[in-house]
Amino acid sequence: MEFTLTEEQRQIRDTVAEFVDEEVVPRAAEIDEEDEFPADLIDDMADLGLMGMPFPVEYEGAGLDYHSYAIGLEEISRGSGGLGTVVAAHTSLAGNMLYEFGDETQKEAYLTALNTGEEIGAFALSEAEAGSDVPAMSTAAERDGDGYTVNGGKLWISNGSVADTVTLFAKTDPDAGRKGISSFVVRPEEDDGFVVEGTEDKLGDKGCPTAELRFDDMWIPEERRLGEEGEGFVQALKTLNGGRITIAARSVGIARAALNEAKSYAQQREQFDRPISDFQAIQHKLADMDTKARAAELLMHEAADLKMRDEDYIKEAAQAKLYASEIAREVANEGIQIHGGYGYTKDFPAERYYRDAKLSEIYEGTSEVLRNTIAQQLLDE
């Protein structure tokens, strides 16, 4: 694996970093405080080609490699963890479901609009009683003429209340377990029976609406099924596997933001007539924070490299997401400690980084589930 960024990758990093510093960072506290979906920033990112980064230009994507996509998402998340989740759920989950499992008609109709940023995507898998245990879902899609009637509900759906296209998972054969799950394209504005019950008031990840959805006799035409009946479970696992790389990228971005803020504060804050960055205890904290963020970044790029080579990357994606999410919390925690009492107030962004980092240990595979995945892969080698 090449560790030196190409000219194109450096250009992507610098372009996104400039946008984040000029447009996102100054608004980050406001987004966190108001918890409103920042539609204008999404439009601006769409103009830069950031809403369809890893998809081919034939579908109006940016045609970037997965390293560049991860770098871009890392920079976006450095500015706002919530904005990072908006882009990750839109691209890695909803967009990737359409790209990997949609037919040409579906890609042209739905993926193109996602890639241009004209529409927003969401991925509806989790339920109140079916988080890590996907086959326990109760949402059902019954055959009804030349389509399906869907009843049930979904929980914890990022972008769920603002999405124009939702990739939905439902049981088409309740007695077949994981082989009885299928996936569909749902259009909230067109499909009667699609109901947004509300959005969650979360600890962090503000600006990304996390919705509870309900489906009341919602009819979907057969032409909006993705793949064949019974393929939904495998589709979900493959999609989440790639998504874990981008959650690692989100985590690295938050860790970098926490480190940069802590370093800047330590160089300005004086105690005993000198900056606290002169004290070895603070230097050691900064050294550990930087080392952890760098290690997480390398794990992220290793998984991205394997994905690009079309090699198996299940273990590596799980390791990248597991480690990056945990060190993001640890680095953010140390950032608060370096700030002292100020770190516990909203006068500084240190506490926001901690709240945003915590989510990465939960969604798209909890740390506990990822350790199971890593162990299973390891024992099978």
Same domain, 344 and 295: yes
114 and 212 co-located in one domain: no
Q: Are the CB atoms for 53 and 69 separated by under 8 Å?
A: yes
Query: 301-325: per-residue pLDDT in tens?
Result: 999 999 999 999 999 999 999 999 9
Do 208 and 238 lie in one domain? The reply is no
Same domain, 220 and 272: no
| Domain annotation covers residue 58 | yes
Q: Is residue 2 part of a domain?
A: no
Residue 364 annotated to the active site: yes
CA–CA gap between residue 257 and residue 101 (Å, rounded): 35
φ/ψ of 170, rounded to 5, equals -150, 160
Q: Is residue 284 part of a domain?
A: yes
Shared domain check, 319 and 241:
yes
Looking at the structure, tell me whether residues 268 and 356 fall in a common domain.
Answer: yes
Token duo for residue 157 = 């759906």
Which residue range(s) make up the domain with 215?
122-229
pLDDT of residue 3: 76
The CATH number of residue 168's host domain is 2.40.110.10
The residue from 174, 202, 229 where one domain ends is 229
Q: Is residue 348 part of a domain?
A: yes
| Boundary (domain end) residue, out of 92, 121, 150 | 121
Inside any domain, residue 237? yes
Quick check: is 1 in a domain?
no
In a domain, 263, yes or no: yes
Residues 11 and 37 in one domain: yes
The SS3 assignment for 370 reads helix
d(CA 262, CA 266): 6
Q: Which residues pair with 182 in a beta bridge?
A: 170
DSSP 14-61: HHHHHHIIIIIHHHHHHHHHH----HHHHHHHHHTTTTSTTS-GGGT-
User: Which residue among 127, 229, 261, 364 is the active-site one?
Assistant: 364
Residues 104 and 127 in one domain: no
**What CATH number does residue 70 fall under?**
1.10.540.10
Same domain, 342 and 366: yes
Task: Tell whether 101 and 130 lie within a shared domain.
Answer: no
The residue with tokens 């059902």 is 140
Among 190, 210, 229, residue at a domain's last position: 229
Q: Tell me the C-alpha distance between 28 and 346, whole Å.
A: 12
* pLDDT score for 163: 98
Kindly state whether residues 217 and 270 are assigned to the same domain: no
138 and 213 belong to one structural domain:
yes
**pLDDT tens, per residue, the chain with 381 residues:** 677 899 999 999 999 999 999 999 999 999 999 999 999 999 999 999 999 999 999 999 999 999 999 999 999 999 999 999 999 999 999 999 999 999 999 999 999 999 999 999 999 999 999 999 999 999 999 999 999 999 999 999 999 999 999 999 999 999 999 999 999 999 999 999 999 999 999 999 999 999 999 999 999 999 999 999 999 999 999 999 999 999 999 999 999 999 999 999 999 999 999 999 999 999 999 999 999 999 999 999 999 999 999 999 999 999 999 999 999 999 999 999 999 999 999 999 999 999 999 999 999 999 999 999 999 999 999
CA distance 219 to 93: 23
Domains in the chain: how many in total?
Answer: 3
175 within a domain of the structure (yes/no):
yes
3-state helix, strand, coil in the chain (%, to 5): 60, 15, 25
Q: Give the pLDDT confidence of 198-240 residue by residue, as tens digits.
A: 999 999 999 999 999 999 999 999 999 999 999 999 999 999 9
Per-residue pLDDT tens over the stretch 171-202: 999 999 999 999 999 999 999 999 999 999 99
| Distance (Å, whole) CA 137 – CA 176 | 12
